[in-house]
Chain A
Amino acid sequence: MVVNQSPHDEARAATRSAHALLLTVPAFGWLFIFTIVPAVMLTVISFWSSTAYGIKREWTLENYRTIFDNYVYVGTFTRTLRIAAITTLLTLLAAYPMALVLSRLRGGAKTVILLLVFLPFWTSYVVRSFLWLPMLGRNGLINFLLIRAGIVERPVDWLIYNEGAVYIGLVYAYMLFMFLPIYQSLNKQDRKLEEAASDLGATPFQAFRRVIFPLSLPGVFSGCTMVFLFACGAYVTPQILGGASTMMAGNVISSQFQISNNWALGAALSVTLMVMVLLCFALSAWRLGLLQLFSGARQ
């Protein structure tokens, strides 16, 4: 601890700090070139026109008109938002109790169970999405068990290739992002608060509703924001499990690039999704603060 700092020392330290700022140039330069510049290019292209022979530098609003006049695209975006919202809710319902149970355990059991929650997420993301095919398909485990048990005679078809299967896949894929921040906020709660509530005659449920849950809200918000954002951009799960009617924004965007060669419309759709997601994100960041929001992604 420096007790007496002369003005001279302070000035020198300030110069050093200013020089140190140069250290940020590579990272910020990198992020600028590979995040901002491409995003600007995307936005520019979304105002160009697309022909059968590729994109042309002719300025137009046609791409955005196509998106907002056409119920196909509007429908896709509302479906995407709905699927993302329901996924978020389901993930919250599945993960919160586990986080609560775990945060109230102690010792070796806690470590072991915590590890067990994490292990599936050490597998590859694509494997995690694929896992549900041999569960839900006609030859899947569930149909096999249903037939063995004599509950049905022929395999049931409605387990997969619909929106329900997409929810299962997405909840499975994103569980950890919900669990982690909630667990962290529950785990650091002071247990004395609960004891105090109980001493004052509160039932466990009242203690939960009045004390534990409100204090875990930052974790809940953080988890919900993360899961919602990721679900908005989902591509793999709807493609593998979704079937005939569950196209999400990600799938529509990729088809503009992979099938119809309509880069301009694809860019406009991407800009729309990007703006949508950034708005949602800005809203929660403004409510919660960025560092809190990323508590699950940090360290």
Chain B
Amino acid sequence: MSLQRGFRWVWARTVYVTIFFAFLYVPIFVLCLLSFNNSSVVGFPLRTFTTDWYRDALASGQLIDALWNSAQLGLASALTGTALALMAVLGLRNFPRLSAAALPFVVLPIVMPAIVTGVVMLIFFGLAGIKFSLFPTAFVVHVTWVLPFAFLSLYPSLEGFDRSIEEAAMDLGAKPFTVFRRIVFPLIRPAVISTVLFAFTLSFDEFVRTFFVVGSQRTVPVHLWILVTEEVAPFLPAVGVIIMILTLTTAALGFASSSLSFARMPKVSHAKESVP
């Protein structure tokens, strides 16, 4: 490789990386900037500096209610979804062919377009006469949504799991649940913890499916959507920044705790993989 071509390559790479990160970060930077802009129109030019929008964003209490709702929903559905997935994985681990056959069924909620799931659950709960609200309708939708991800995330950790210790313990008369609690769970605990965190972030960011079944309660994404489309509030950027800081903090906490439990560089893909 000639020196000249090497330079050209490095130059092209630098330009590309710059554009890539500009694309990712300039809009976020603009949002932060506008959240301090003293203008009732979300946009340029910049006028004076103000923090009033943050006060307004918190004043109605709706944002805090939405955070509270999302936290409850996220925790409940992450724990339920992970528990269900863990049981399924434990049950299936001796049946590789059965697992392979069950997989398409398990991933169905991921593959279904969000809008179809929303509409389907609207019809389902509507015909069943169940009132739309956080619990149970949104909760059911969220558990269904996180369950396949939890399954896919736990499945590898129990594949090729050495079972001789369990067999030995059972032969010595230990009850299955004791074996699970004393032997299996300690070994897979890091995977379970990171799955719960992952499921929480998935639930926390779920929008379209939730929108159709949540009634008039608001989760964080629903609150944001209403601010964007129904209210067009000038404090919208401030709400966006608050949410960003909170999710970043939560993600960083999750990141730190899963690094601790893995005691190595965490798999970054536990980051929010929100699927609209």
Chain A residues in the interface with B (C-beta under 8 A): 1-2, 9, 13, 16-17, 19-28, 30-31, 34-39, 41-42, 45, 94, 97-98, 101, 111, 114-127, 130-135, 137-141, 143-144, 172-173, 175-177, 180, 184, 203-204, 229-230, 232-237, 239-240, 249-250, 253-254, 257, 263, 266-267, 270, 273-274, 277-278, 281, 285, 290-291, 294, 296-299
Contacting B247 at CB < 8 Å: which of A34, A115, A123, A175?
A: A123
User: Chain A residues with Cβ under 8 A from B85's Cβ?
Assistant: 27
Query: Given that A115-B268, A120-B24, A274-B112 are contacting pairs, would A42 and B120 also be in contact in the complex, using a CB cutoff of 8 Å?
Result: yes
What A residues does B107 contact at CB under 8 A?
Answer: 290, 294
Establish whether residues B120 and A125, one from each chain, have CB atoms under 8 Å apart when the complex forms.
no
29 contacts between A and B (CB under 8 A): A2-B164, A9-B171, A21-B91, A21-B95, A27-B84, A34-B144, A42-B120, A45-B123, A97-B13, A115-B268, A121-B274, A124-B220, A126-B207, A126-B225, A134-B44, A134-B237, A135-B26, A139-B42, A141-B44, A172-B23, A204-B9, A233-B276, A274-B113, A277-B112, A278-B111, A291-B103, A296-B269, A299-B191, A299-B269
For chain B residues 192-240, which have a beta carbon within 8 Å of chain A?
194, 201, 205, 207-208, 212, 220-221, 224-225, 228-229, 236-237, 240
In this complex, what residue of A is CB-closest to B275? A230
Q: Is B140 an interface residue (CB 8 A)?
A: yes
| A33 → B minimal CB distance (Å) | 9
**Contact partner of B113 among A20, A114, A232, A296, CB < 8 A?**
A232
CA distance A249 to B113 in the complex (A): 10
Instruction: Determine if B167 is an interface residue (Cβ-Cβ < 8 Å).
Output: yes
Q: Is the CB of B87 within 8 A of A24?
A: yes
Does A263 lie within 8 Å of B225, measured CB to CB?
Answer: no
Residues of A within 8 A of B270 (CB): 299
Residues of A within 8 A of B220 (CB): 124
Closest residue of A by beta carbon distance from B21: A116
Contact status A250-B113, CB under 8 Å: yes
The 4 tightest CB contacts between A and B, nearest first, are A139-B43, A233-B113, A23-B91, A27-B88
CB within 8 Å for A130 and B113 given contacts A13-B167, A24-B91, A121-B272: no
CA A25 – CA B275 in complex, angstroms?
27
